[in-house]
Structure 1
Amino acid sequence: MTSLELAKEAAKILDSKKGIDIQAIGVREVTTLADYFVIAAGGSSTQVKALADEVEFQLKQLGISPNHIEGHRSNTWILLDYGNVVVHVFLKETRDFYDLERLWQDGEQIDLSSVLE
């Protein structure tokens, strides 16, 4: 699976669990951290945890495990690092505060219309 396919699969999983404002940003040209960031929000800390858990579970079913996970204690920002793809799941207020979309605005906005309902 390519990193773009992985990013789209993560977005699809987040959408299936009612993630809010799901976006993918191609950051390969602006950082060495990853090829893509997938960003979504949940309406509560419970939903943030459920979204992150579902991404982790569904991708493990495909044989893909995260290299690292951060944020499970607070459930306001959970990061799942898959190497070339980093999934950020935020509580809406936390997402607004950190505003990663603005921070990575030089990245390429990825069209997710084919995977989001």
Structure 2
Amino acid sequence: MNPLGWLPYRRIRVRGPSMAPTLKDGDVVLARNRRNPRSGDVAVVTWVARPGQLSIKRVAGGDAGGWHVEGDNANASTDSRELGPALVHGVVVARLWPHPRLLSSR
């Protein structure tokens, strides 16, 4: 089962500084469930080593082993550089709060 559930969209509160300055701790985002990511997208991911923990990271690329994702704030991010390939469960399409805006690939 997808950790984002069965609905097409899910609201998620960002925790931690790993995606600053794009997203900050406490921001609320809207993720599209089961959307195929492209390089540059902000995605909701898990890792085999941390299956119950959802993380929000930027997609750097993908291959047969999974997706390489990194936080925008490299000094405050635990990501594919340490944990290996990630499983992508959805793509963040917008920040809802505090300053609503669509998110697009870099």
TM-score normalized by the length of structure 1: 0.28
Q: More strand by proportion, 1 or 2?
A: 2
TM-score normalized by the length of structure 2: 0.30
